[in-house]
């Protein structure tokens, strides 16, 4: 069973990874695109990206486009894998709770009919 990832579990970082993992590999997005899509402030987004970069889950590239500084962000292979495993763990938690719920209903029915 895949476990929950402590770095990605934080809600803002989970949303950042959800955006980056939804892109096909080899595509980068701008800092401002992420900021607008996730409705975050520069400082908040920057801090969480730094944490993700430290963990090796995102790659940040700074460059100039038309003489203006531009920051591009992409998910690394490790980041995509970690996000997939984290999503799988979330689904397992959900499925587990549904199975427990169904089993509980079956037991209650058996008790009621016996």
The residues that touch another protein, with contacts defined as CB under 8 A, are: 3-4, 6, 9, 11, 14-15, 18-19, 21-30, 32-33, 37-38, 65, 72, 74, 87, 90-91, 93-94, 96-98
Pairing between β-strand 68-75 and β-strand 58-65 as defined by DSSP bridges: antiparallel
Nearer to another protein, 4 or 105 (CB): 4
DSSP annotation of 26 reads T
Beta bridge partners of 70: 63
Closest separation between CB of residue 47 and another protein, Å?
Answer: 19
Q: How far apart are CA 80 and CA 23, in angstroms?
A: 10
DSSP 55: T
Nearer CB in complex with another protein: 14/47: 14
Comparing CB distances to another protein, the nearer of 3 and 104 is 3
Least gap, CB of 50 to another protein (angstroms) = 20
Cβ nearer to another protein, comparing 100 with 113: 100
Cα gap 3→47, rounded to integer Å: 24
């Amino acid at each position: 069973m895949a476990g929950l990832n402590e770095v990605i579990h934080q809600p803002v970082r989970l949303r950042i990874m959800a955006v980056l993992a939804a892109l096909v590999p080899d595509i980068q997005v701008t800092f401002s695109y992420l900021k607008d899509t996730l409705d975050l402030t520069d400082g908040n987004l920057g801090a969480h990206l730094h944490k993700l970069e430290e963990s090796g889950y995102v790659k940040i590239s700074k460059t100039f486009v038309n003489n203006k500084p531009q920051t591009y962000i992409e998910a690394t292979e490790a980041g995509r894998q970690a996000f997939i495993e984290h999503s799988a763990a979330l689904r397992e938690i959900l499925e587990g709770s549904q199975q427990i719920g169904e089993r509980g209903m079956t037991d209650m029915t058996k008790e009621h009919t016996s």
